[in-house]
Structure 1
């Protein structure tokens, strides 16, 4: 094995071990599917993006989208399409999207291992 081939094989195995996309829990997938059905459209996917803003520097955005943009990372979770644009993908690699429906919290939550710190309200991160 040449040094170049060995380096390439090592890089590939390192990349395979790193999380490459977001994870949508089963509970969140059911909620997304229900919301899309309520919209009466079958062309929508959940788009997750990171935008500048918030008190910690970056803010999450979750919305339904029918667009396909160049460089989008698309994952399917039990028939629910989840899309992350190429600029947001590094910030969201390995993040878990869940849905809470409790008396103390209701809505989508994001557990992001890439967030170094977040604000008290949980709306933004750095």
Structure 2
């Protein structure tokens, strides 16, 4: 069964994304079923999604990622820490990788613009951060709200 994303928007503007998948691990020996639920604060920033391929079509790709206010603040802080000359220089690769019996693992890494691949989808945000998402990962992250938590236990990007 292919993984599915169920997304809910509540009256107060919060979102809940539920990922559900079934399958076997990389060895093919253990079956697993995974479901993760993430509820985040009201999203603040939206983006424009582009493919790095040149396209003659005037159709715009749908938005794959929404960045919540908490994540936007942390990303702006990271821009200062990485020493980028301008905010346009920060590109993050968002990827989904198999996680064995525990389901999927999400990766967020800083990359150079030269590391963007031809088939990557690029989301540019008005605060100067771009996300590169490979086609395989795009399927899993579509509709995701990226937030950040300062919690001592389990803090980080969510």
Same fold by TM-score, threshold 0.5 exceeded?
Answer: yes
TM-score normalised per structure 1? 0.63
1:73 counterpart = 2:121:
yes
- Greater helix content: 1
Separation in structure 1 between the aligned mates of residue 96 and residue 146 of structure 2, nearest angstrom: 14
Separation in structure 2 between the aligned mates of residue 31 and residue 54 of structure 1, nearest angstrom: 30
**Which fold has the larger relative contact order, with Cα–Cα distance below 8 Å and residues 6 or more apart in sequence?**
1
SS at match of 2:119: coil
1:41 Cα deviation after fit: 2.0
Structure 1 runs not aligned, ≥5 long: 1-15, 110-126
Separation in structure 2 between the aligned mates of residue 76 and residue 62 of structure 1, nearest angstrom: 15
1:27-68 Cα deviation digits (max 9, x unpaired): 212211211221112423121100112432321111111121
Structure 2 runs not aligned, ≥5 long: 1-59
Closer, same or farther: CA 70–32 of 1 in aligned 2, 3 Å: same
1:19 Cα deviation after fit: 5.5
- Greater strand content: 2
TM-score normalised per structure 2? 0.51
The number of residues matched between the two structures is 94
* 8 Å contact kept, 1:19–1:94: no
